[in-house]
A and B are shown apart, each in its own frame.
Chain A
Amino acid sequence: MTERTVAVNYVARVEGEGALRVRIEQQAVKEVELRIFEPPRFFEAFLRGRSYLEAPDITSRICGICPVAYQMSASHALESIAGIEVRGPLRSLRRLLYAGEWIESHALHIFLLHLPDFLGFPDAVHMAEKHPEVVKQGLELKRVGNQVMEVLGGRAIHPINPRIGGFYRCPNREEVQGLEAPLEGALGQAEATARFVATLPFPNVEEDYDFVSLRHPEEYPMNEGRIVSSSGLDVPFERFEEEFQEQQVPWSNALQSRTKEGRTYLVGPLARFALNRDRLTPKAATLARELQVPAPVRNPFQAILVRSLEMVVAIEEALRIVRSYHEPPEPFLSPPTPFRGGIGRWATEAPRGLLYHRYEVGADGIIREAKIVPPTAQNQARIEQDVRHLVERSIGLGDAELQDACERAIRNHDPCISCATHFLQLDLQRD
């Protein structure tokens, strides 16, 4: 056989609809195409003509797994146009909400999507038959993340409470203090999770990633920071579009990003951890030392370990904010009048990595242009490289084993295909 095609027609245990096609010729990998066939929904097109105040509600619908990330990047970008700077207790509340989303999203991926690969099950439900305590622990961690989002956001999926300038209503002290005990329980469970996943059998693989993430002077990055990379980039986030470019490929409904030099790069937990190891919270830092987690982690399969450490970070941060909470005097800041409009850019760290938004808004408060670059679109080309290397290493495997291995290589990066596909400009094919 000189030519062979390995196809995964539907990548399971990822968010959204994707497929993979690998073409092998004369024992060499010729093509790797991560095909994203998730239908485009054209958010950037229909954001035009909407009030800037509507953007947090609308953009949250890009992703049911990480709606807060969209609300945060949109709110900050638009507040920079409106002349609002959210500081102090309101800023802390946003960080608490974002931490809730990190906990929920990471717990979902670690326990329900990723761990079945390592323990040899098709899903968490089957895994629960053999490892009930592990699955229950995962569901409990996920529940606590959702509980934080419910208190701060009103509900866990598409929270209704965040708005431009802050929140519609700030939770009172009692509501926030009610989170302390569940978060304390979750902290112990998250530490146990990290210790447990550190014992998993990891394939011996190292990838030469160019990591890209935000970096903040004091904190593990969530809502703000400069864009830094492992190849030495260090620029304000406003320069995102000058440093990174998107290109279209025929096989995918998502644009692919590369650096301006044309190289692939990686965003997400591995990148954040590599570039912010000195910003870990105390227990996460101790745990990373105890478990001898390499710096940086270049083995994509160990992303599950890094996600566990980030879950500890998010819970410690949430606890810190909950314990010092005082209800802010006002739930939100209003824009200074008159509103002049302009262009605003921002980047935050979604659970899956850097999420960039740019808006142009008129003096009437109506959005003229919107651009959104989600983490999975940025990682797409790099994930294809991971798959190529895997196939090169494992070319002797049979088709079924190779397909399975390819799916695992994709799942390592927790791609969110619904996010990646939201942003294509509209081309209509008439009915």
Chain B
Amino acid sequence: MSPPRAPPRLAVFKLASCDGCQLTLLDCENELLEVTRHLEIADFREASSAVIEGPYDVALVEGSVTTEEDRRRIQEIRASSSTLVTIGACATAGGIQALRNFADVEEFRRNVYPSPEYIRALATSTPVRDHVPVDVELRGCPISKHQLLELISALLTHRAPDLPHDSVCIECKRRGNVCVLVARGTPCLGPVTQAGCGAVCPAYDRGCYGCFGPQGTPNAPSMIHRLHELGMSRAEVSRVFRTFNAASPEFRRASEGEAREGESS
């Protein structure tokens, strides 16, 4: 397609996160300059000191809401963006920092901080969707470069992005991996985890650890049963669901159930 006269304005914002998902845009080394011919990068502080005021056609938001300031900021971002896309496990599920959501606050408080009064943080880390309506979510810790480019192409051509909700197992079959769960008995969250990564862990002889979060219709009880058969304790199973998407509803239920059962047995 030929570039339109006024290219859409893209902004990239960051809340609590590691910067890895916005780095994925800069990691599109072969495509970056082509992409910027079709889009105007209006606000991307990690990459540019030139800032164009909103409104924006598209905002990519990385990170989770963990401070009062960011709770306010996400409202402003939503108000100034026609399409709001959350990118990565922090923005879509609260990220690894949502482990605080499970913590006993008093136990944390006993950790003496030299001057805690300087530090401002909410008791929870929450996904952007809990605060404002979100138009598209890109999963993953980090997101996939291919899905990001697919999203940008779809936005530029006014079509829906092709972002499958099926499991990592489907990608594993496509890649021709031997199933690590069936053939080797390696614990693997592939059956309950959303596709998008390209089944990278099984391709490296490792079980999936769920960094793309729950797939569309996860059968967590059956997954948990299989993990127990492979010799994992309830504490271990609880932990495997408590990583980068710990606060997603399906993984949270799975880890809380296992933690509860573990304590009562």
Contacts and interface: CB of A to CB of B under 8 A. Distances in A.
Interface of A: 10, 12-17, 37-43, 45-46, 50-51, 54, 57-58, 61-65, 67, 108, 112-113, 116, 122-126, 128, 132, 135-136, 139-140, 142-143, 146, 154-158, 160-161, 163, 167-169, 247-248, 250, 253, 331, 407, 418, 424-431
B18 to A, nearest CB: 4
A247 B114 CA distance: 8
Given A57-B209, A168-B205, A418-B17, A426 B32 contact: no
Given A140-B29, A426-B100, A39 B21 contact: no
Contact of B206 (A63, A67, A128, A161): A161
A65 B122 contact: no
A168 B204 contact: yes
A125 B33 contact: yes
Contact of A154 (B122, B142, B204): B204
Contact of B49 (A123, A154, A250): A123
A142 B76 CA distance: 34
Contacts of B124: 431
Given A46-B103, A64-B21, A407 B49 contact: yes
13 contacts: A39-B16, A46-B96, A51-B236, A54-B239, A62-B18, A125-B48, A163-B206, A418-B18, A425-B113, A426-B108, A427-B109, A427-B116, A430-B105
A46 B244 CA distance: 12
B201 A160 contact: yes
Q: Which 9 A-B pairs have the closest CB atoms?
A: A64-B20, A123-B48, A122-B50, A427-B116, A12-B49, A143-B29, A46-B99, A168-B206, A41-B97
B51 to A, nearest CB: 8
A40 B17 CA distance: 9
Interface stretch (B39-47, B131-139, B158-166, B247-255): B39-47
A426 B121 contact: yes
A429 B46 CA distance: 28
Nearest to B36: A125
Nearest to B114: A248
A15 B141 contact: no
B105 to A, nearest CB: 6
Given A46-B103, A123-B49, A407-B49, A331 B29 contact: no
B45 A169 contact: no
Given A39-B70, A407-B49, A157 B27 contact: yes
B27 A428 contact: no
B47 A13 contact: yes
Contact of A418 (B19, B66, B109, B121): B19
A331 B123 CA distance: 41
A18 to B, nearest CB: 10
A139 B21 CA distance: 18
A61 B41 CA distance: 26
Contacts of B41: 123, 125
A429 B122 contact: yes
Contacts, number: 203
A64 B18 contact: yes
B26 interface: yes
Contacts of A123: 41, 44, 47-50
A42 B67 CA distance: 13
Nearest to A162: B204
B152 interface: no
Given A41-B97, A46-B100, A157-B23, A428 B142 contact: no
A253 B49 CA distance: 23
Nearest to B206: A168
A112 B26 contact: yes
Given A63-B18, A157-B20, A427-B121, A45 B108 contact: yes
Question: Which of A112, A136, A429 counts the most chain B CB atoms within 10 A?
Answer: A429
B265 interface: no
Given A46-B99, A61-B18, A168-B205, A160 B200 contact: yes
Contacts of A16: 14, 19
Interface string B33-63: 1001000010011111111000000000000
Contacts of B142: 64, 155, 157-158
A116 B49 CA distance: 10
B15 interface: yes
A284 B75 CA distance: 50
B100 A169 contact: no
A108 to B, nearest CB: 7
A116 B22 CA distance: 19
A431 B123 contact: yes
A425 B23 CA distance: 27
Contacts of A37: 69
Given A57-B209, A135-B33, A160-B206, A13 B121 contact: no
B243 to A, nearest CB: 7
Contact of A250 (B17, B30, B115): B115
Contacts of B200: 154-155, 160
Contacts of B68: 429
Contacts of B220: none
B66 A41 contact: yes
Interface in B4-25: 14-24
